[in-house]
Amino acid sequence: MIKTSLVRSVLPAALIVVCVSSLAQQTSAVTDCTTLSYQRHKSAWLCGKVVVCSGDICGRPSVYDFDDRFDVVLRDNLGKELETKPLSYEESTFCFDGRRDGDYQLAFVLYKNHVPEPARVFPTRYKRNPVKPNDAVYMVAAWCPTPRQ
């Protein structure tokens, strides 16, 4: 009787831990395209222009079944969201002003039928340099590969 009561009280707690752990793993895989290996950009500004591409062919996001509206999110090096700017195909340039030197992430979030897709993340090392031109173009992949199991 005692063993049965112990199993009944411990088993649900163990299942909750397993479910939470599984959910946490799924959530992190869904929010970013972590399998994409973008090189770290070194930029004088946290600014740039966004184009959506499949391979070397770029076009309107709607060509790839995305909404023409998308977001660029500035994150710190640990992934914490600092600021978001909504963009569109017609207005695809952005700039995050007033930030300290350091490592950041630029996450580009495309939408399908107003539902966010996994972000395409570019690590960026920012260092103030007023003479360096702002010519960063971010080619955001239209596809997001599924993680290998």
Q: What is the CATH number of the domain that holds 100?
A: 2.60.40
Q: What is the DSSP letter of 20?
A: H
Q: Mean pLDDT throughout 39-58?
A: 79
* 19, pLDDT greater than 60: no
Indicate whether 134 belongs to any domain: yes
Domain range spanning residue 52?
Answer: 32-141
Residue 66 is predicted with a pLDDT of 95
Indicate whether 26 belongs to any domain: no
Name which of 136, 110, 113 is nearest 43 in CA terms: 136
Q: What is the pTM of this model?
A: 0.70
Indicate whether 92 belongs to any domain: yes
The proportion of the chain whose per-residue pLDDT surpasses 90, expressed as a percent, equals 38
Indicate whether 126 belongs to any domain: yes
Indicate whether 65 belongs to any domain: yes
Q: To the nearest whole number, what is the mean pLDDT of the chain?
A: 75
* 26, pLDDT greater than 50: no
Indicate whether 42 belongs to any domain: yes
Q: How many domains does one find in the chain?
A: 1
Residue 47: CB partners within 8 Å, gap ≥ 6? 93, 94, 95, 96, 134, 136
Q: Mean pLDDT throughout 13-38?
A: 43
Indicate whether 102 belongs to any domain: yes
